[in-house]
């Protein structure tokens, strides 16, 4: 572990100084595209400004024989696109793969000044982040890059979950974590074959009714309630990220056609503290943008509480409910997010500006 005094020192002579704080940039949808797929790649320039993050994916979902084509496609897109307000990320291949070294040594010199964040899959522990941290510093120094690249780790191994705090704390480059439910399910030997989302078998059942003699009637009808397979991991990820000042994200939802369940999964993540989710198909961008933007009703309520609370101390009654120092802090989280999003999303700005406090 590095000492506190050299934590923010560059790891290579000539590399940019690490960031002291990770900027809170809107990232409601991290939209995945394969830069080697001509049809998808052709859509990228027109998607700028419609999505918070465009991510050129080089890892899983890119066939082994296409890895070089996708990498070259990403360089071309990076060099020829003006990303404006949209962040530009990539997901590199895993650290044990034959492609990752070429990913890094190609991408950083060619488009390192355009890339905001490098997503690293299958991170197991701090040692993986330390490896990336040093090599990025060397490549940034060689390429004369002035803005440090940030690093995002996918939480998709059991060891990664066990080491989550040390991963978050491993480098000042750490921007956030995403849940990777597909690889994590495989690594944990969970018995779901889905890419994220729920499972009808993971449920609790209503207690049986009792007869007049008090004996349970086990053969009567009983409602079942499907539970969230990912609750524990998402909550753990949110705490680790909040503790380290970085950002948690829900990952992929593979049932592209089930837009309703996708919205539910994203909303659960939003309510628990995530700032965004992955979009695998254009249809999921709209869902993420909606879910991860506070509703007009929530922003209105938050503003009313803040107004009613004056200096933010004490307790008041509003609509029959007690509000105090703690609830005003919750409301400030909501309003701060609304303000960040309004700054980049004109429709949201109009909707939030139209709020009139009763
Ligand atoms: C577990 C994990 O690691 S998840 C992360 C890795 N997976 C990914 O990145 C998957 C990314 N997405 C995809 O590959 C595709 O969306 C698929 C395979 C899921 C579905 O693809 P398709 O069957 O072609 O979808 P569909 O027919 O609805 O596509 C409609 C149009 O949107 C385009 N499109 C589909 N997905 C995307 C995308 N992610 N980005 C941009 N355009 C897209 C298609 O090229 C097609 O274009 P066209 O109208 O010009 O023909
Ligand atoms: O990479 C994502 C996953 O779910 O696996
Ligand atoms: Mg994965």
Q: Are 17 and 148 in contact (CB under 8 A)?
A: yes
Q: CA-CA distance, 15 to 85, in Å (whole number)?
A: 25
> pTM of the prediction?
0.97
Q: In the chain, count H helices and then E strands.
A: 13, 12
Distance from the CA of 280 to the center of ligand 3, in angstroms? 13
User: Among residues 347, 126, 327, 164, which one has the least CA distance to residue 241?
Assistant: 164
Q: Which residues are annotated as a binding site?
A: 91, 156, 183
User: Among residues 88, 20, 90, 29, which one has the least CA distance to residue 249?
Assistant: 29
For ion ligand 3, residues whose CB falls within 5 Å:
156, 180, 183
Closest atom of ligand 1 to 195 CA is 1
59 lines ligand 2 (CB under 6 A): no
Residue to probe by mutation, ligand 1, list 36, 38, 40, most atoms within 8 Å of CB = 40
Distance from the CA of 203 to the center of ligand 3, in angstroms? 25
- Give me the phi and psi of 46, to 5 degrees please: -75, -15
Which pLDDT score is estimated for 220?
87
- Closest residue by Cα to atom 41, ligand 1, is 40
Pairing of strands 315-318, 203-205: unpaired
Closest atom of ligand 1 to 183 CA is 1
Residue to probe by mutation, ligand 1, list 281, 282, 283, 285, most atoms within 8 Å of CB = 281
ipTM: 0.99
197 lines ligand 2 (CB under 6 A): no
* CATH architecture, domain defined by 4-292: Alpha-Beta Barrel (3.20)
Distance from the CA of 174 to the center of ligand 3, in angstroms? 18
- Closest residue by Cα to atom 7, ligand 1, is 61
Question: C-alpha angle 157/171/120, rounded to 5°?
Answer: 40
Per-residue pLDDT of the chain (358 residues; tens, 9 = 90+): 788 899 999 999 999 999 999 999 999 999 999 999 999 999 999 999 999 999 999 999 999 999 999 999 999 999 999 999 999 999 999 999 999 999 999 999 999 999 999 999 999 999 999 999 999 999 999 999 999 999 999 999 999 999 999 999 999 999 999 999 999 999 999 999 999 999 999 999 999 999 999 999 999 899 999 999 999 999 999 999 999 999 999 999 999 999 999 999 999 999 999 999 999 999 999 999 999 999 999 999 999 999 999 999 999 999 999 999 999 999 999 999 999 999 999 999 999 999 999 8
180 lines ligand 2 (CB under 6 A): yes
Q: Are 66 and 103 in contact (CB under 8 A)?
A: no
Distance from the CA of 168 to the center of ligand 2, in angstroms? 18
Which pLDDT score is estimated for 1?
77
Distance from the CA of 66 to the center of ligand 2, in angstroms? 19
Beta strand segments in 34-104, E? 53-57, 87-91
Q: Which residues are annotated as a binding site for Mg(2+)?
A: 156, 183
Residue ranges, comma separated, of all CATH 3.20.20.60 domains in the chain are: 4-292
DSSP category for residue 25: -
Q: Are 326 and 319 in contact (CB under 8 A)?
A: no
Residue 46: CB partners within 8 Å, gap ≥ 6?
A: none
Distance from the CA of 280 to the center of ligand 1, in angstroms? 6
154 lines ligand 2 (CB under 6 A): yes
- Give me the phi and psi of 30, to 5 degrees please: -100, 100
Distance from the CA of 199 to the center of ligand 2, in angstroms? 17
Written as six digits, the tokens of 235 are 């909550």
- Give me the phi and psi of 229, to 5 degrees please: -60, -25
182 lines ligand 2 (CB under 6 A): yes
Task: For residue 186, give the 3-state DSSP assignment.
Answer: helix
Q: Output the 3-class SS for 193-256.
A: CCCCCCCCCCEEECCCCECCCCCECCCCCCCEEECCCCHHHHHHHHHHHHHHCCEEEECCCCCC
- Closest residue by Cα to atom 3, ligand 2, is 180
């Amino acid at each position: 572990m590095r000492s506190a005094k050299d934590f923010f020192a560059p790891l290579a002579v000539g590399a940019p100084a690490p960031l002291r704080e990770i900027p809170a940039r809107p990232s409601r949808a991290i939209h995945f595209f394969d830069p080697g797929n001509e049809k998808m790649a052709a859509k990228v320039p027109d998607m700028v400004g419609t999505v918070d993050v465009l991510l050129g994916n080089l890892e899983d979902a890119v066939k082994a024989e296409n890895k070089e084509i996708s990498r070259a496609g990403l360089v071309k897109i990076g060099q020829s696109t003006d990303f404006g307000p949209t962040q530009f990320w990539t997901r590199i291949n895993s650290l044990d793969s034959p492609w990752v070294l070429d990913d890094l040594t190609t991408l950083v010199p060619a488009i390192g000044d355009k890339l905001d964040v490098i997503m690293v899959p299958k991170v197991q522990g701090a040692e993986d982040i330390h490896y990336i941290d040093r090599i990025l510093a060397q490549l940034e120094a060689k390429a004369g890059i002035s803005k440090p690249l940030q690093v995002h780790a996918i939480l998709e191994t059991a060891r990664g979950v066990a080491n989550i705090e040390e991963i978050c704390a491993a480098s000042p480059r750490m921007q956030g974590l995403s849940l990777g439910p597909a690889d994590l399910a495989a690594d944990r030997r969970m018995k779901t074959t889905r890419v994220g989302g729920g499972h009808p078998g993971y449920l609790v059942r209503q207690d049986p009714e009792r007869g007049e003699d008090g004996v349970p009637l086990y053969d009567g009808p009983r409602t079942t309630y499907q539970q969230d397979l990912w609750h524990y991991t998402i909550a753990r990820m949110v705490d680790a990220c909040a503790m380290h000042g970085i950002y948690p994200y829900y990952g992929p939802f593979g049932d592209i056609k089930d837009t309703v369940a996708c919205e539910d999964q994203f909303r659960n993540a939003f309510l628990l503290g995530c700032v965004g989710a992955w979009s695998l198909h254009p249809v999921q961008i709209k869902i993420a943008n909606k879910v991860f933007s506070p509703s007009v009703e929530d922003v209105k309520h938050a503003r009313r509480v803040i107004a009613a609370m004056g200096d933010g101390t004490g307790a008041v009654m509003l609509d029959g409910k007690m509000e105090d120092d703690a609830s005003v802090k919750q409301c400030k989280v909501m309003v701060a997010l609304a303000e960040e999003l309004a700054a980049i999303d004109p429709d949201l700005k109009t909707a939030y500006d139209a709020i009139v406090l009763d």
